[in-house]
Structure 1
Amino acid sequence: MPPNEGLTHLEQYKVEGSNVEFIGSNIDHSVKYNSAATEPAWQQDGGVGKTEGIKIWRIEQFQVIAWPPNRYGSFHEGDSYIVLRTFKASPDARELSYDLFFWLGKDTTMDEAGTAAYKTVELDEFLHGAAIQHREVQGSESRSFLALFPRLTILRGGAATGFNHVETSETSLLRLLQITSDGGRGIIVREVDPTWESLNEKDVFILDEGQKLTSWQGKSCSPMEKMQAATAISEIVNERQGKAEVEVLAQTDSRSSIVVKALGGTAESKVSSVSSAPKHPSHSQEDRRPKRLFRLSDASGALKFDPVKNGEKVTQSDFKSEDVFVYDSGYQIYVWQGNGASQQEKAKWLKVAEAYLRSLDGAWSTPVATVKEGREGLAFKSVLDV
């Protein structure tokens, strides 16, 4: 089925004769800004977005709750988060720029995901519409998101399941963390099943028994994985106020069998020679989809989603100010909002992008970003043809 089939009349919005003259106006933005200004989370430290740095919030019971800075880079697969990066696009830039992400764990609830998306839009309004918004899904994070942290740590549980942060007193704890270098995209730390069958020769693992931490180094692991495992252990020990014993074992050490046995194995258990870590989508030319460009327009009185290019070169001149365009670069979706696009077109960007991804086989978790005309950023420009 063509990727635009079934999307052409995604939902009929009759603009003609409707009372929408104030939507997208200064009055409309003023009302939305004043509403956003009532959210306590955005008033953190005198108002977010005023200084360079990163802020993270987790969605808990429809509320936006600040995530502790010492846990930045760690996310639970049962949760949804909002991440704001405030930065200067160049050393001499007068204005601050913003990357605004909402990250969805694979087990997050629909309510949490919906709240994260809604509050991300609200925060953008609080920032006067200056942010580039990103939708990130666990396991398919964009390079822009991964670049925010020295490593990305994915832990089990979440707010809805009553997750409690691990304390040093939990002597019965048995947790296994896998440290993997993901092909130059960064270091990923994942909580995996605490069984010897999770071990492999390619990666480093941390066996967390509460008051003891053991680094188990597969015989083919990389120096970077070893270093990041050591850093992760150091941070865990600091969280527990130094109340944890640490041991580092190479797979080839005779004592390394104690980790296998602690995980239910025996001296005869043979670990896999292949890494079990899921790989992020490749950015290689062989694996990417053909480039596609679509126009989202309500000029006819109904919201339509029409193909513009399929497998052809896409350049900046293909984007017209009066509409919204959905650009599939092959491994990431960009929703480009023209300055003259209607509010109806802009408001449906995420719904249309996700509907498009659902029409493709296995592509729903593809990263999605919305960019505004004149503020596209380097990531968007890098995937255009000259």
Structure 2
Amino acid sequence: MESGFRAVGADSGTVSEVPTQLYHIRKAAGTKKPISHVVVPKAASLNTGDAFVLTTTSTIYTWYGEECSPFEKNKAVEIATALNAARYGHGEFIVDVGDDVPEFWEALGGGSIADVLPAESVTDVKEMPPSMFILQDEDSQLKVISVDVDKKNLDPTGVCMVDVGTDIIVWIGTDATSREQSQAMASVASYLKSQNREKNTRVARILQGQERRARKVWKKAFP
């Protein structure tokens, strides 16, 4: 599901480049309990039967399909509120954004309400592919940078985090600073909490050179 990394740290010592993410909230099959998935942030990912949360660097939106249930709306607000809290109130928080707000559609890469799919046409949720972040200590500030999922982006001087859905990989470079290493797990905890994924996501801590010890999860990120 991202990124939920803090945009501004509580002590103003952490700065993150937060990518645009879209959370799709829908009822689990056979129940009224809604679950969330991170999906491709585009207008065609929306549908009239579910609720959605869109996050950008500056704004968090909730958007509701006209047929979505109260349970899905409540879950969307819960997720959006957690994401907003993780930013310590920095940025704008818009609940039930109107269909005529151009900034919302621009954040989705363009499009309009005409691109929203009818509820009955959505059978499976297409989740986002793995996402990758580098945590680096620069000028006494911890900076989280979104990068392409590629082994070439593994930086021995920093810490890498890869989200593969069911697991989070925390890869520790051999030359990572002690500050980067100590803050890595705290950053992951904040990330998972913002997405309500603390209870069902495994975290694998892997030291550079010891990737074979976690071959199964490693292949999910780098097949």
TM-score of Structure 1 vs Structure 2, range by shorter chain: 0.3 to 0.5
Q: TM-score, normalising length from structure 2?
A: 0.45
Q: TM-score, normalising length from structure 1?
A: 0.27
Q: Which has the higher contact order (CA 8 A, sep 6+)?
A: 2
